[in-house]
Chains A and B, each alone.
Chain A
C-alpha cells in the first residue's frame, strides 16, 4: 500500500523560481528511501510538501489516501520531520520540555504527555538526560533529541533532512542506529542527503533529484553506478565494484 502518493507535483517560489517540476512518486508503507541530489535540486522542497509546510502550486500530495492540504494537522501528525539544523528545531529549555512541545500542541492531557515523552526519550536513549539543557548536549545527542521530539507526535513517516551533517563519526553512528531502529519498528523512512556513503547500505530505494525533477529512481544497487552523472558522489565501495557496507559494521 502506498502511504505517500505524489502526482504531477510542481512548486514555484514567490520569486518565480521553479523548485519542483512535475514530480510523480509513490512510496510504500515501511519503505526506507534515500533521496539524494546536489544543492538546490529540490529535495528539501519535496519533503516539505509532505506535511504541508509548503503547498503545491500544481498537482497533489496524498498521505494514506487523503490530500495533505485537506487536513494539515493530520499530515503533521503522520509525518515527523527532522531538519538539518537541530539547534533551530529545539524549543524547550530542558530535554523533557522539548520533547513535550509537540504533544502539548496537540492539547493532550499531562498524563498522556508524560507517557509519550517517557516513551520517546527511552527509545532514543536520552531518558537520563531529561532534566538537562538541550544546548549542552553533543551534536549526536541533539539529533537524537530532535528525533525524540518527532516520535512524541507518534508519526508513521519520518523524514530526515541531512541527518549526518556536521556530525563526528560516533555521532553519525548514533543517529544511524536510531534511524535503523525506527525502520525496524515499522516506520516509513525518508532520508535526504548528498552523502550516500553513510546510509545507502540500509536503503531499499534510491531517488536522485536534479533541478526539481526525479532523474533516477530504483534499487540502490541498480542505479548507484549512475549517480555521479547527476552531481552526487557515489560510495567508494561501489566505485571499486564492491557492495556498499554499513557504517555500523
Chain B
C-alpha cells in the first residue's frame, strides 16, 4: 500500500507544496511545452531543475518509479522502436535490423522528454491535494458557462484520489489469484479476464459504498473550496520559470 500511495498527495512544507495550484498547473504546461520544443541542452537544464525539485520536496522517487514501472517499460519499447526504425548511420546490425546513430539520439530525446513530463506530473500530484486540483479546474472552467466545471472537477478529484486505492485493490486481487496458482495458466487473456472482472466488480462496489458515505456527510457540489490566493512567491517563481524556459530554448 505504501508503494501505491506514493502516487498520491503527501503533505509537506516545500516550495512546491506552498505554491498556488494554478501556478503549478501553469508551470507544468510551460515546462512540458518547452521540453517538447527543446533539444538535449534544454532537457539537461530541465533535468537539473527537476532534480532540485525532487530533492527539495523530498519526493519518494524510488517508490514513485516503482509505481511507474509499466510506464518505464513503455519508454523502453519506444526507445527500441526508434533505434531500429529510424534511417541513418548503422551502429549495430542484428539480422535484418540495424540500430542507427540517429535512431539512438531520436529515441533518447523522446524518452527523456516523456520522462521529464511524467516526473513533473508526479511532482505535481505528490505536492497538490485533489481538492486543490478540483478548485483549480473549477477556476479554469468558470468563464465557460456551458461546461459543468464543478462536476468535471469533482470527477477529476475523486479519480485522482482513488487511483492508488484501485491499484491496491488490483494488487490484492492479483495476490489472491497467485495464491491459487494462476501463474500455471499461461494464457495472458485468461489471466487478464480473471483479474479484470473481480477488480471491476469490487471497484464499483467500493464506489457505491463511497457514494453512500459521501451522501451521509451531506455531499454537495456547492461546497467550501480551498481558497486560491496568489502570493508574492508564486509571481516570483513564475518570472523565474519564464526566464529558465526562455534561456533553455534560446541556447
Contact = CB atoms under 8 A, between A and B. Distances in A.
Interface of A: 51, 53, 73, 76-77, 81, 83, 85, 87-89, 91-94, 97, 101-110, 113, 131-133, 135-136, 149-150, 153
B8 interface: yes
Contact of A94 (B9, B158, B210): B9
Interface string B157-194: 01001001100000000000000000000000000000
B218 A77 contact: yes
A110 B164 contact: no
A131 B9 CA distance: 10
Contacts of B1: 135-136
Contacts of A87: 165
Given A105-B219, A132-B11, A133-B8, 10 more contacts: A53-B215, A77-B218, A89-B209, A101-B214, A103-B224, A105-B223, A107-B222, A110-B224, A135-B164, A153-B218
A105 B217 contact: yes
Nearest to A73: B218
B209 A85 contact: yes
B92 interface: no
A191 to B, nearest CB: 17
9 contacts: A51-B216, A73-B218, A77-B218, A88-B209, A89-B210, A104-B225, A105-B219, A133-B5, A133-B8
Nearest to A113: B224
Interface of B: 1-2, 5, 8-11, 129-131, 158, 161, 164-165, 206, 209-210, 212-220, 222-225, 227
Nearest to B209: A88
Contacts of B164: 135
A102 B216 CA distance: 9
B127 to A, nearest CB: 11
B129 to A, nearest CB: 5
Q: Rank and list the top 10 A-B pairs by shortest CB-CB distance, nearest first.
A: A88-B209, A131-B11, A89-B213, A105-B218, A104-B224, A93-B9, A102-B217, A104-B223, A81-B216, A76-B218
Contacts of B214: 91, 101
A83 B216 CA distance: 10
A216 B190 CA distance: 51
A105 B210 CA distance: 15
Contacts of B227: 110
Contacts, number: 82
Contacts of B129: 93-94, 97
Given A88-B206, A135-B5, A136-B5, A109 B11 contact: no
> Which of A93, A103, A104, A107 has the most CB atoms of chain B within a 10 A radius of its CB?
A93
A94 B225 CA distance: 16
Contact of A153 (B161, B212, B217, B220): B217
A163 B215 CA distance: 19
Contact of B8 (A76, A93, A103, A149): A93
B123 to A, nearest CB: 16
B11 A94 contact: yes
Contacts of A132: 11
Contacts of B10: 133
Nearest to B218: A105
Contact of B213 (A77, A88, A97): A88
A161 to B, nearest CB: 11
A102 B218 CA distance: 7
B224 A109 contact: yes
Contact of B210 (A91, A97, A108, A131): A91
Nearest to A105: B218
> Which of B215, B217, B218, B223 has the most CB atoms of chain A within a 10 A radius of its CB?
B217
> Which of B11, B219, B227 has the most CB atoms of chain A within a 10 A radius of its CB?
B11
A92 B217 CA distance: 13
B217 A76 contact: yes
A76 B223 contact: no
Contacts of B206: 88
A49 B220 CA distance: 20
Contacts of B224: 103-104, 106-110, 113
